[in-house]
Amino acid sequence: MAFRIYMALAILMLFISCNEQELPTQKVRALPFYGVQTSWADSVLNELSLDEKLNQLFVIEMSRFDSNLFEQNYGGCIIDSDLEDLIHLANQNLNKDIPLFVGAGSIDFPESLLSGELLPIGLFGLSEETFDSVLSLKQQLFNYLGVNFCMMDVPCNDSSYSPWADFSSRYVQKAISTMNSCRSNGQVMVAGSYRICEKDSMQTTSKEKEVNQMIEQLIDSGLISIGIERSCYPADPFVFRDSNYSKARFDRGGLLASLNTDEQDTVRCCSQFKWGADLFYAQSSDSACIKRFKKVVKEKLETNQIDISELDDRVRNILIAKTWMRKSNEPINKQEYLSQFHIPLRGVSEQIKKESLVLLKNENNSVPVRDINAIKTGLVSYRGAKFGQLYEELNKFEDVAYFKVSKGKFRVGRFKSFGKLVLLIQGKLDTTSAKDLEELSTLDDQLDLIIVNIGFSKNLEYLEDFTTVMQVYGEYSLGPQNLAEAIYGGIMIKGRLRKSHGVFKAGYGLTTNKTRLEYALPEEVGIHTDSLQRVRSIAREMIFTEAAPGCQIVAIKNGKIIYDRSFGHHTYDKIRPVRNTDVYDLASLTKILATTPAFMTFFDSKTFLLDDSLGIYLPDSLEKKLGKKSTFEGVTFRELLEHKSGAASGLRLKKFYQYQNDSMGRWDKYYCDYQHPDFAIKISDNFYLDADYYDSLWYMLNAVKLDPEKQYKYSDINMNMIYKLMVGKVPKEQSYSMYLDSLFYRSLGLKTMCFNPLNKLDTNLIKIAPTEYDTYWRGAVLKGYVHDPTAALFGGEAGSAGLFSSAKDVGVFCQMILNGGEYGGRRYIRDTTIALFTCLQPDSERGLGFDKPTGDTSSTKAYDCPVSAYGHTGFTGTCVWVDPVNDFIFVFCSNRVYPDPLNNKINTLSIRARLHQIFYDQIFPIDQKE
């Protein structure tokens, strides 16, 4: 925050120059620079001229670095502009015979919400963890930048400036801790500004007394300096001797007074000097007033109204303090500064933003929202509250309707069909809003009403009786994305109220758990954004070499989406660019995003057991149809999931592609170019399979010849056997895809993950990337139709393939797996089941259904990806890897098979592995690898 240039700030220590009878006896406190070797201070003092001594009394605030002022050898300089000037001042100070006090004024550190103040009031709205992080980071910054003159705001005891009193105990605790840290770092801490009120003690309010007691606690704990607002100084010395807030309370606290350019303030400053002020705060534009002040002091020295010993004592102790204070030894380089502090500064700044949200009431546990897409939801903008971006963000979680309501126009009837409303208030409420609030209160009894008050915290006094109330402080610019994430559990709410309003007391705030993913800067997880520029380079290489026309890349670290970018186009003609919401054919990712998770739920319910033989579940009619038992009769589910059933890689489907005899071709035997009851299974546009042959695929699966050795062999047949058996357990009123949607996708908020996307998605909003130009079988560009032939013959859904999705939705699903089967406050799969299926199986290089990154090299995973990770790849150019050790998920989606499935450049160029490795290079820096 900015230095308050209209306030006088005390800086320093020192002895008080006044008659003993004027003030009570002082208790002696040892200041940190007592006991310091004084030979340098004494030597320098003897060499200083009177002008040079007087200059040591001034700390000058510079709006920009001024070399002329710097050369005047003032006591100190405060830079009130930018980082470059502060660094320049600190570097120039290295060569000073008498070093300056170097302070950071209203500097805003680059890419940060931090300023030069150590303990601004805004920090008290933060959680304890973030509060401590901010203080620690500021002091590291000050140490690095050579700042030895640290500003800490001090409560004012005027009732008009009362917020500090709301934090009295917490403030004292943090202030003492900060003081001790400054002292251990050799930094002079400036405590200001403080307002003395010339009131009789009977007129003093309870808050004023409480603040005054806080100041006394700080002084007793070793406060080096304290400041008094200049308006509180009298024109004559010692006028405060009978005041309730006399100088005696400040013990050995020194004073710093601001100067103005009129004669009256010059006289007042002389009074302040006589009253005990040691250093004076002045603007760089106050040079004329400084000259007049020095002239007056010289005159008073000549007439013995001021004794030279008073001046020498002050200057000597200033020099002793400079002996004691920390000094920089090495020049400061901005690039080194950015390298060292960029990540923590951006990270803590984002956390400060997120904690500008306070949850004050949550009686029905409406926040975070648990069940999405379960009830009708609306967003209401009251009295012109801005809602456009928030509406977009809320819609990323679930479908939301929006309404605008003017003052006095609130009607409950509009919302009777809704189960949840988010109401935005942005503007000052008053008694004329009472009718609207009364209408609102009836809604509060009927549905989940979440009230979000943006700014104008005094509005909270009108919202005390509602069940769910949130306050957003506007100055830290909490974005609509963060607000939506907080409502839905992406962000842990832990902000604190900064000022009391009615029943809502300062420092109060409810805490919620993080239950969903959030978007975050890479710096929030310790990764420099610029270090990920190589992702773009490799993606461009992929497109330029025609390994794939485009892709989506998502990276999730510590439950935060730190990368969600799309590159290239749907096709090489560059007509439609890839967007983050576009949908790709996931191919074999279906195995771990549909088949295996669905099986895990059946495993949890003991419907299927891993070591059960399939013969237990195969229908008797199958043997009659085949004329023999299924070849899978003795195969277990475990063997299917480990690909140790002995099955070949896939079904032999050549007859469906190339059937031809003397009397008919494949169109006569299997297909029709229009749909009717006999040809009901759609393969692609104008391409329908005879429904009678759908069952023949099931018989073909059960007639597959199995290798009795049962060695590992990756096979789509295994997952399709599991799929067909699970379909038999799905409620008859649901299809398999509907079952998965109700089981996982809908409640997870996955708007793009589905089978047969042309039947489900609004393709005006969500675009589907083409997969391949199938010249061999279907004679068309496949767009929204599954590439995999077996899945196509099964009607677009199978255990081996068929699922479509955006990369982000893949990431959300995998986060549920990484969370141990829980997401959004809801459990989907038991954590023990997740652990069992994702771990490396005995005598195997895979998990159960999941692939494992075994081996030292691979074209689809990073070299540093640990064996504990799990995931899968897809033929169409997709992959996902989940790393539980490093809490990291990597998702890559592309249509590398467009237009030709024989295109293998994505593997020969190791595109996926290299992209994956970029993130591991940041998770494990080179020095850690060594």
Per the prediction, the chain carries an average pLDDT of 84
pLDDT higher than 80, residue 137: yes
Residue-wise DSSP of 844-859: -SB-SSSB---SS--S
pLDDT 10s digits, 314-335: 898 889 888 888 676 788 888 8
CATH number of the domain located at residue range(s) 356-516 in this protein: 3.40.50.1700
Give this prediction's pTM: 0.87
pLDDT over 90 percentage in the chain: 52
d(CA 679, CA 686): 11
20-334 and 356-516: identical CATH topology: no
pLDDT of residue 472: 93
The mean per-residue pLDDT over the stretch 854-864 comes to 83
Element (H, E) at 355: none
pLDDT over 70 percentage in the chain: 82
d(CA 767, CA 762): 8
The mean per-residue pLDDT over the stretch 255-273 comes to 55
Please, which pLDDT band fits residue 375 given cuts at 50, 70 and 90? very high
pLDDT of residue 229: 54
Residue-wise DSSP of 485-547: HHHHTSS------SS-BTTB-TT--B-----S-EE--GGGGT--GGGGHHHHHHHHHHHHTTS
pLDDT of residue 128: 84
d(CA 449, CA 140): 44
- CATH class belonging to 20-334: alpha beta
Residue-wise DSSP of 243-300: STT-GGGGTT-B---B--SSHHHHHHHHHHHHHT---EEEETT-HHHHHHHHHHHHHH
d(CA 169, CA 816): 41
Beta carbons of 547 and 905 less than 8 angstroms apart: yes
Strand ranges, E, within 356-429: 357-362, 377-382, 400-405, 420-425
Helix axes 716-727, 692-702, angle to 10 degrees: 120
Cβ partners under 8 Å of residue 114, min gap 6: 108, 134, 137, 138, 141, 345, 348, 349
Please, which pLDDT band fits residue 310 given cuts at 50, 70 and 90? confident
pLDDT of residue 812: 99
Spans of all domains in the chain: 20-334, 356-516
d(CA 387, CA 403): 9
Residue owning tokens 């200033």: 318
The mean per-residue pLDDT over the stretch 212-233 comes to 64
The mean per-residue pLDDT over the stretch 181-186 comes to 80
Burial call 768-800: b when 16+ CB within 10 Å, e when fewer: bbbbbbbeebbebbbbbbbbbbbbbbbbbbbbb
pLDDT 10s digits, 869-886: 999 999 999 999 999 999
Residue owning tokens 């406060």: 223
357-361, 385-389, 475-479, 685-689: which has the highest mean pLDDT?
A: 357-361
